[in-house]
Structures are given as structure tokens and as C-alpha cells.
A and B are shown apart, each in its own frame.
Chain A
Amino acid sequence: IQLTQSPSSLSASVGDRVTITCRASQDISSYLAWYQQKPGKAPKLLIYAASTLQSGVPSRYSGSGSGTDFTLTISSLQPEDFATYYCQQLNSYLLTFGGGTKVEIK
């Protein structure tokens, strides 16, 4: 299952609303997770089951979608949110990740 993220990068300002999309090559129901990775750090789980926030993750993060189209939204971008975001499909044991979306400071 291929996952295509868009955009591959974006520039935004603190306080902006940011949306990242992830499209699956076939129906994966709600079997999708999102991770955040900062430079030099391991990825961190943000959302699983497409829309369930991992414990401790700020509520400005939200996920939506099912089937083949999914979105990660940051409602009001904070300085600590500048990072690369990856989606991951959980539908098949042949796990795959999207190519990543780098969120940079405008």
C-alpha cells in the first residue's frame, strides 16, 4: 500500500492553521497513524486510528479521514510544531509510511 503525502513541504507562520494530507493507494479504513519528527530526534506518535489523539499530545492537533484520504490539522501552529510529519498505514502487516511533510517557519 503506497501512501502519498502532500505537500512535501510548506512554510507557515506561528498561529496559522496547517493541513497535511495523506492518500492511500487502496482503502485502509481508519488504519492510519501520524508521527512528528524533529531534527536529530526519533519520531513521536501523534494520532492513531486516523483521529485518536495519543495521550499527552496537544489538542491543537487533529486527524480525520477514512478509506483513502486523510488529513492532519494543526489548528494554530506553535514554535515547537516545526518538524517533519509522517503518516503510516496500519492496514497491512507490510507497513508503509508516507514520504513526509516538512513544516518550516515562514
Chain B
Amino acid sequence: QVQLVESGGGLVKPGGSLRLSCAASGFTFSDYYMSWIRQAPGKGLEWISYISISGNTKYYPDSVKGRFTISRDNAKNSLYLQMNSLRAEDTALYYCTREGRMGDYVFDYWGQGTLVTVSS
């Protein structure tokens, strides 16, 4: 079965960096576009990055552009999110998601999330 398992979250000081990982299994990872979506405590969902199958196309919203970098290693079935210059407002649960076959930007599988806390 499809599994997405995030790791790498934790407590970091403002201005610090963190790298999240997502281990994918149960499907051919190299056939799917992937995204990261986050959810601040008690808040709604915010899409924060998207990567194509090859890794050549990446999208970000303005809130993280220039600070976050999405990448993937198809040989390792893994998705990554490098987060730099972290701010308190980046505190959230970060989900790894798979774009399904039913159309662009529809997320049919989600991991359970990894919590990032930015605090001094």
C-alpha cells in the first residue's frame, strides 16, 4: 500500500535551518509529482512547494520562496524540503503529499506529518 513517512522535524531557533525528508513506498515514486503542505497548529492547510517528476520544475508560494527548497531523489524514493531562515510563522505540521492520476494538483495520499517548531 502507498506510504509516505515524513521525518526531520523538531525544534529550531528563528533564523535556523532544517531539512525534512519523506520516504515513499508502495508505488513507483518516479512516476508521480509531489508536494509539501503544512498546517499551523489549529489552522488551515497551506501548500508550500511542488516538484515535477524529473525535479526540474518547482513551484513555491511567496511565503516561502527563496527560503525553502524542494528536491527529490528518485533512486531513493525520497522527497526533501530544505528550510532556511526559519521564522516563528513557519511552525506547523508538514505533510508530504502525492499528486494523484486524477488531475493536476489533486493530492490523493498524505503522510502523517512531521512537526516543525520555530522558537527561541
Please give the residue numbers on chain A whose beta carbons come within 8 Å of chain B beta carbons, in ascending order. 31, 33, 35, 41-45, 48-49, 52, 54, 86, 88, 90, 93-100
Interface residues of B, count at CB 8 A: 21
Please give the residue numbers on chain B whose beta carbons come within 8 Å of chain A beta carbons, in ascending order. 35, 44-47, 50, 59, 61, 95, 100, 102-108, 110-113
**How many contacts between A and B, using CB within 8 angstroms?**
56
Question: Quick check: B61 and A54 within 8 Å, CB to CB?
Answer: no
**Interface of A, helix, strand, loop or mixed by DSSP:** loop
User: Contacts A93-B59, A94-B59 hold; do A54 and B45 have CB atoms under 8 A apart?
Assistant: no
User: Contacts A45-B108, A49-B103 hold; do A94 and B95 have CB atoms under 8 A apart?
Assistant: no
Residues of chain B within 8 A (CB-CB) of A41 are: 112
Question: Quick check: B95 and A97 within 8 Å, CB to CB?
Answer: no
Question: Quick check: B44 and A97 within 8 Å, CB to CB?
Answer: yes
Residue among B45, B111, B112 facing the most chain A CB atoms (10 A cut-off): B45
Question: Quick check: A49 and B102 within 8 Å, CB to CB?
Answer: yes
Minimum CB–CB distance from B95 to chain A (whole Å) comes to: 6
